[in-house]
Each structure stands twice: as structure tokens, then as C-alpha cells.
Structure 1
Amino acid sequence: MTKKYDQIDFKIIQELSQDARKSAAKIAKNIDVNERTVRRRIEKLIEDKTVRITTIVDPNSFGYNAIADINLKVDDPVYNDFIESCKANPNVCYIATGWGKANLSIETRFIDNSDMYNFINHTLSEAEGVEVVNYFIIPKIIYNIDEWLPVQDDFKEE
């Protein structure tokens, strides 16, 4: 279900996207809205899970520069356990279901290509009920989800 937000919410989200630590008082001053309104709106955006105030760590800062997107066919009997093992693997940073021959997609990051090679060609390929459908070596991520913002048209007029 799509939630309804207005231009005040849009302005608050823009302010938070620039600095998630910005105080409600500073946001209120910048967008010319009462501070209590800003606090209430931020609480509602968080409660509705529309925004998350979180820390985003850049894997490149830790040398995780070898990136691969991997599409997999995972058999039903091992599907849930395999997902849990992916979630526990520090090299897996994204998991999504897929359609077609591949029913699971993962994004992985490694310190070097050797680790990536071993993961794709041994860890995954030797896992029971798991088939590597294809993979893409990613030399550079140009745009990522942590940079995405809704457009102004997504918000109704005040």
C-alpha cells in the first residue's frame, strides 16, 4: 500500500538526506515549519518505515572492491537455509528473489578476485541444491540505493 505524504514530508526527507543527524530545530528553521511538527513527522516517517536513520558503511573503505552480482537457482528444500547462510556470510550484502531460471540474486563483495573466484566456483557451485545461473563482475557501482530519493511529484500539495 502506498502511503500519502505531503510537501512538508518531502522537505524533511530532503533535509535528512543531506545530514541524517540534523536536529529537528534546524530542519524546522530551514523549511519554515514548527519544530514540534517536524519532530512528529520524523517519528511518523520512521514508524511507517518510510525512512530509516542508519549508518551506511562504504565497503570500499575496507578494501572490499571486488564485486559480483550472482543469479542462482536454489531448490525449494534448501532455499530458506541457503538464504540464512547468505545472510550470515559477510561477503553477501544484498539478497533478492528473482523470476525465471534464477530464483535468487545476491550481491557480493570481496577483498580480492581470488576470494570471489573461490566463492563462485567452489562455495556456491558445490552447495547442495544450488546452481550458479550467471554472474556479473562489477568494476564500478555508479549509483546505489542509499542515494535514491523520491521526486517532488510523489508528495501531494500541502
Structure 2
Amino acid sequence: MLKNMMKNTLLNLKPIQKFIDGVGKDVKKFFGKDKGCIVGLEDDGVFYASGLYEWLKNKNLTFSTMDDDGRGLEEEKAKGRKILLVDNDIITGKGYKRAMEAMRLKKEKLGTKDVKYAVLCDRTGLADFSVEGYSAYAPWSLERLDGVDLKIIQALSEDGKKSFVEIAKGTGLSQVAIKNRVERLLKDKVLKIRGLLNMEKVYSVSAHIDIEADSKTINRLIEKFEKSPVVYHLVKTSGRYNLMVSIVTPNLESIENFIAKEIRSDLGVKHIEVNVGELPIIPKSWTPPII
């Protein structure tokens, strides 16, 4: 009787309800008609796992618990089954990695079919099933980009239309985990996906121009160059020259015209130095402003 009361109480708790509402359907699809085992990770994950297990009411499922290092798992209940690890959240990803590694080491012994991870709140994008994604109050900076994030960014920089399935193959994560990470990177404006112009298909030559001028002139030039369809790099500098401009054009004549009309015509410009070269090695593409 006490056991039934505890189960009913769990299902009445709002966090448990929220968890089940968020991942329940996906978890059902994951198990399907196969035999499975729901494993609650100590401590808090046990409550979410227990509530989910009770809600599913699937005779093909068993229930167990374990520490994130794999200790405490009732292995007989997991043999030959699909495994769903359940926790309340992923903050840094360390617990997730320990638990997944523990199951990997047990795979041959247990003959497990597949292992997935479900949480209420995932701040890393690692979980296969989660309700809440990256939280705005969690710390985030470029220093926190891990190897998987960089692989995702690299894959999308090569082909912005690459599917989550294709990206997942090169990272070892699931399609859902990749989707969560991409959405997080987009939300926090770390990543942008957009159409880029292939320079070598449109231009044939580049020029690097250093400009010496007073501050008012520099600001005026910056405002003008930001709208130029040939300027792909623009930065203020210290030293003799105040502004560095890099452009790409179809021919040398276009470079001469740009310098004459856009730079030398401004009376505030004191001195310039120009270096003409091939198309840039990096970047090979960029988005010119529409004028």
C-alpha cells in the first residue's frame, strides 16, 4: 500500500508531470515493442525514472537504479534490453559522460541493444530526450565550447544544409542531441546559418589597404565601407594607420576605382598603403551587403 501511495505521489508532482509530458511520447517510440530497462541515476534521477516507469505501464520494461559510474545497477534487469538512463538535469555533462561510459563498458557483458539518456533540463544538448534546453542563467562563453560544438560548427560551415543525421555520424551523438546543440548555439548567437557568396566564382583579385586619417574621417569611412559590396574585412588599428580595409573585385581596374572614389576623394585621408594580391585564403566566402 505504501509503495502504491509513493507511486501515485510521484505522478502528482509537477516536475515529474512536466518530465513525462515532455519526453513520454518519444520514450514510448524508443522502446516500441522491445524489451527495455529504465535506469534512474542516483539520487534525483530515481524519482523521475520511477514516475516515468509507472506512467508507461509496459510489461516489457524493467526498472533499476545506479550511480553515474555504473555501480548499483541490477544487471539481470538490463540484460539484452534497450536502456534508458534517467536523471533530473545535465549541467556540465560530466555525469552524463560517466554514466554513458559505464554502460559502454557493460555493453558486451549485458548484450544491451541501445542506450539513451533522458532528463528534465539539459544545459549541454547531450541528452537524447529532454524537456528544457539550455538555460539562460547558466554560464556560457566561447571558452565553454567543447569539441562537439566545434565539429558541428565546422560541419555547417562546410555545408549549411547538412542534416542533423549527417552531423551526428561524425560526433558520436544522436540526431536529437545534435539538434539540441544547434538550437542552443543559434539561440545564444554563437552560431549563424546563412547563405554565403563564393568569392572565387565572382571575384579574381583582392587588395589590402591601410589608411591614415583623423578620427572623424575614419568614422565616416567606416560608415561608408560597411555598406560596400566589395569590402569583406574592416578593422580599426593602432600605429600610423588607423583603419585596415580588405576588398575583393573582378579586376585591377576596380581596385583603382575604389581607391580613387572611396578613399582618395576624402580630404581627411592623409596617407594610404595598398597591397594587391590573389583572392584571400581565408575566408573563401562571405555575405556582401545588398545595396
* Whole-Å separation in 2 of the counterparts to 1:10 and 1:77: 39
Give the letter aligned to residue 254 of structure 2.
D
Is 2:191 aligned against 1:51? yes
Task: Could you list the structure 1 runs, at least 4 aligned residues long, displaced by more than 3 angstroms after superposition.
Answer: none
Flag structure 1 segments of 5+ consecutive residues without an equivalent.
148-158
1:19 aligns to 2:159 (yes or no): yes
Deviates more, 1:34-43 or 1:113-122: 113-122
Query: Structure 1 residue 124 and structure 2 residue 263: aligned?
Result: yes
1:98 is aligned, of 237, 242, 255, to: 237
> Which structure's relative contact order is higher, taking Cα pairs within 8 Å and 6+ residues apart?
1
Which has the larger displacement, 85-94 or 67-76?
A: 85-94
User: What is the identity, as a one-letter code, of the residue corresponding to 1:84?
Assistant: E
Number of residues paired by the alignment? 145
1:2-81 correspondence to structure 2 within 5 Å: 2-62=142-202, 64-81=203-220
TM-score calculated relative to the size of structure 1:
0.76
Q: In the aligned structure 1, how far is the partner of 2:143 from the partner of 2:284?
A: 20
Structure with a larger share of its residues in strand: 2
Cα distance in 2 for partners of 1:33, 1:83 equals 43
Q: Which residue of 1 aligns with 2:115?
A: none
Q: Please tell me whether Structure 1 or Structure 2 has the larger radius of gyration of its CA atoms.
A: 2
Partner of 1:86: 225
Alignment partner of 1:3: what SS?
Answer: helix
TM-score, length-scaled by structure 2: 0.44
Deviation per residue, 1:32-89 (Å, 9 max, x gap): 3232221111122223333321222123312x22311000123122332221111222
Does structure 1 residue 144 correspond to structure 2 residue 277?
A: no
Distance 2:259 2:152 in 1: 42
CA distance in 2, matches of 1:146, 1:29: 26
Higher mean Cα deviation, 65-74 or 49-58? Answer: 49-58
For residues 121-155 of structure 1, what are the alpha-carbon distances to aligned partners after superposition, in whole Å with 9 as ceiling and x for unaligned?
A: 454122121234311011343x20359xxxxxxxx
RMSD over equivalenced CA pairs, Å: 2.4
SS in 2 for 1:12: helix
Task: Note the residue ranges of structure 2 that are not aligned, 5 or more in a row.
Answer: 1-140, 286-291
Q: 1:150 matched to which residue of 2? A: none
SS in structure 1 opposite 2:256?
A: helix
Partner SS state of residue 88, structure 1: coil
Q: Which amino acid in 2 is paired with 1:11?
A: K
Alignment partner of 1:81: what SS? helix
Q: Structure 1 94/41 Cα, relative in aligned 2: closer, same or farther at 3 Å?
A: same
1: CA distance, partners of 2:145 / 2:183: 14
Any conservation in 2 of the 1:124–1:131 contact (CA below 8 Å)? no
Partner of 1:111: 250
Partner amino acid for 1:120? I
Distance 1:2-1:17 versus aligned 2 partners, 3 A rule: closer
